[in-house]
Amino acid sequence: MHQGGLVKTVRFKSPKYVGDPINAVKIFNEKEADELIVLDIDASANDVEPDYQMIRNLALECRMPLCYGGGVKTAEQASRIVGLGVEKVALSAAAIENPALVSEIAEQIGRQSVAVVLDIKKKSFSRNYDLYTHNGKRNAKRDPFEFAREIAALGAGEIVLNSIDQDGEMSGYDLDAAERLRKAVDVPITILGGAGALDHMQQLFRKCGVVGASAGSFFVFKGPYKAVLITYPTMQQKDALFHV
């Protein structure tokens, strides 16, 4: 989310408006989506509190598990968000700046409700990656896979790996990064950034086994000119992904 609207970026830049968040949730309800992740990309970047009224409205409308991230810096904020009907709270910059926060929030709302989002970018001329915060503007100067092990030990119930390089490109997930994260931690992981076809999800499952496959552009754009049209795979299409 950006300035109150639902947007989609390309490599964390050029946000394109794709609709009203509540209307989008209603459509995903009809499509029987498995889970929704809503990330307020303004909150942490502008150092403001989460928009609790907006979160409440989303949670009231949403019929599937909802994960919210953006601006969460304390266990009290996380507890308030869960109290509004959200199943998971996602942390990013705050967890990187203060890893102990992961433990504090896990103790308050339960480990299963704590997700940590790692925004990564591949280093030039290297197989290694850097970890970024604040919409890809600040290099945390941490190895994301070492940090993933650290926060998993501290109580993160899920780790979401988001590729800045692949964001909005719709050319496929960063399978190398996904595999490295899968080998680094035992907690559930979700891979985000790059999905443009169901084949890309199938490739991810072949490479990494049982992981979460998340997508943005793939579910909101249609055709080469990226017309806005919210879609979601049918149960039959999802089942077919595992018959490899």
- The residues pairing with 116 across neighbouring beta strands, listed in sequence order, are 91, 159
Integer Cα distance of 238 and 202 in angstroms: 9
C-alpha closest to that of 151 among 185, 123, 108: 185
Name beta bridge partners: 19. Answer: 6
- Tell me how far apart the alpha carbons of residues 56 and 76 are, in angstroms, rounded to a whole number: 16
H-helix or E-strand spanning residue 37: strand 36-39
Contact by Cβ (8 Å): 177, 162 = no
Phi, psi dihedrals of residue 120, rounded to the nearest 5°: -120, 155
Q: Which of 34, 42, 47, 119 is catalytic?
A: 119
Active site residue 34: no
Q: Which amino acid is at 186?
A: D
C-beta atoms surrounding 141 within 10 Å: 8
| DSSP codes of every residue in 171-239 | S---HHHHHHHHHH-SS-EEEES---SHHHHHHHHHHHSS-EE--SHHHHEETTTTEE------HHHHH
95 Cβ contact partners less than 8 Å away, ≥ 6 residues apart: 101, 102, 116, 151, 156
Catalytic positions: 119
